[in-house]
Amino acid sequence: MVDRYVGVVTGAGGDIGAAVCRALGARGCGVLCVDLTEELAVRGAEEVRKGGGTAEVFAADVSDERQVFAYADRARQLWGTAHFFFNNAGIEGAETPIVSYRVEDWDRVFAVNVRGVFLGLKAMVHLLEHEMVTRIVNTASVAGMVATPRLAAYGASKHAVIGLTKTAAVEFAPLNIAVNALCPGPVESQMMRRIEQGMAGDAAQEAKRQFEAMIPQARYATLDEVADLAVYLLLDCPVYLTGQAIALDGGLSIA
């Protein structure tokens, strides 16, 4: 057991990042909160502190190699090590069928969701490598397991995150690092509000009802449910649990 777990959360100012920051704070963790702007990173840091932990902020674009190595260097300066890494930043991108999906929108989704996750693994692995068990969670999605009509780049990028997770789990196994993909279905969050709006405009409530009707438990996940699972995978799970894509989706992916 360590006295205090320390690590990095990307996308810390988003709804899932902030919920996980608060839950990590409640475990007394030290967290380097990374997001696109300092203002967003501060949202994550405030949640860590509300929970009872300590936090630092770092503004970085996860699709930029130099900026990713800069946040890893900052974590090294702060603690010399890390016990967890929540590789979570992501965007949903454009919502339109493949025939009208713009190449630049496709590229941006892959730059953030796939290159960002890959760079995070590359930059953070040596910080996580020491004698104790450490853990990485890449945020994929149930969109990495099933078809995602009108969200082609998002779905393909999340399939790629699951693939990267498996490769990292094998490559990092000798280092005692567990690597798993967290795969939520729809979560009560701003991202889902944007997706519902993009699907149906003024009929967003109807789009939500249609999504819920596809889920055996007939509701979205709560942010607390996502945070509880993320913290288990980041701090508590056995190292033997590795390389898995773990759906938190009310049965959506198996229905």
Tokens of 162: 């699951």
Q: Which runs of consecutive H residues, i.e. helices, occur in 27-179?
A: 38-51, 65-79, 103-110, 116-128, 152-172
Under the criterion CB under 6 A, does residue 196 sit at the interface with ligand NAD?
no
- Determine which residue in the list 112, 124, 245, 252 makes contact with ligand NAD, applying CB under 6 A: 112
Under the criterion CB under 6 A, does residue 250 sit at the interface with ligand NAD?
no
CA distance 32 to 8: 5
Under the criterion CB under 6 A, does residue 62 sit at the interface with ligand NAD?
yes
Give the number of other Cβ atoms within 10 Å of residue 72's Cβ. 26
- Determine which residue in the list 9, 48, 55, 89 makes contact with ligand NAD, applying CB under 6 A: 89
Under the criterion CB under 6 A, does residue 139 sit at the interface with ligand NAD?
yes
CA distance 195 to 207: 9
Contact by Cβ (8 Å): 92, 155: no
- In this structure, are strands 6-10 and 177-184 parallel, antiparallel, or unpaired? unpaired
Find the catalytic residue in 71, 154, 220, 232. 154
- Determine which residue in the list 22, 88, 125, 181 makes contact with ligand NAD, applying CB under 6 A: 88
Q: Is 154 a known active-site residue?
A: yes
Binding site for ligand NAD (CB under 6 A): 10-11, 13-17, 35-36, 40, 61-63, 88-91, 112, 116, 139, 141, 184, 186-187, 189-192
The residues annotated with a catalytic role in the active site are: 154
